[in-house]
Amino acid sequence: MRAKRAFSAVCALMTAAFVVTAADALGADAPAVSVDAGQSSLVEDYQHPNKEGAAAVGLTLKNGNGKIFWVDCVAGADQVTVESDSITTPNHVACFKVVGIDGYLALEIPSTYFVKAGSIKLTATLTGRANGQDVKRDYSIKPGQLTPVGEPVYPDEGPAALVELRSVA
């Protein structure tokens, strides 16, 4: 997918360079060239695609580097699964695909209680409250392992929100 985007970006830049070169060759009589206002920018904004669809099932997807992204859950697939009372899918599960190490996704899933990694190790960051103070905890999620996080581990802190996933070596 990134290769296709990169190819499209290169083609757009080459077209723009050709137009500028052609205009220079024609001199001052060259017609003005305008850019379509509806055309999307070539600048990456790191916003997660399909944020609206995710919000409909209780996930807030913020931004990332494209190596971790929300997907439909498929039995037996190499996916990260997150279990939360706030997710409105069957079994309260959301799934994510990880496509390499150094992946990053900022998100918010309140009341998260389990995270299971696919074939790549993860760090999951959750936030909660204890004694009136904000608490931030990182959990190491081993490949293929269902790991309790948040309230099951620290019941005095109450429900915790998953705020970040990172794939690590």
pLDDT at 39: 52
| 127-146 residue pLDDT tens | 999 989 999 999 999 999 99
| 37-52 residue pLDDT tens | 555 555 555 566 677 8
pLDDT at 8: 45
pLDDT at 90: 86
Q: Are 108 and 163 in contact (CB under 8 A)?
A: yes
What number is the average pLDDT over the span 157-162? 95
Q: Please, which residues have CB within 8 angstroms of residue 103's CB and are 6 or more apart in sequence?
A: 64, 65, 67, 68, 120, 165, 166, 167
**What's the per-residue H, E or C state across 61-95?**
EEEECCCEEEECCCCCCCCEEEEECCCCCHHHEEE
Q: Residue 26 pLDDT more than 60?
A: no
Query: What pTM was estimated for this model as a whole?
Result: 0.72
pLDDT over 90 percentage in the chain: 63
Return the biggest CA–CA distance within the chain. 75
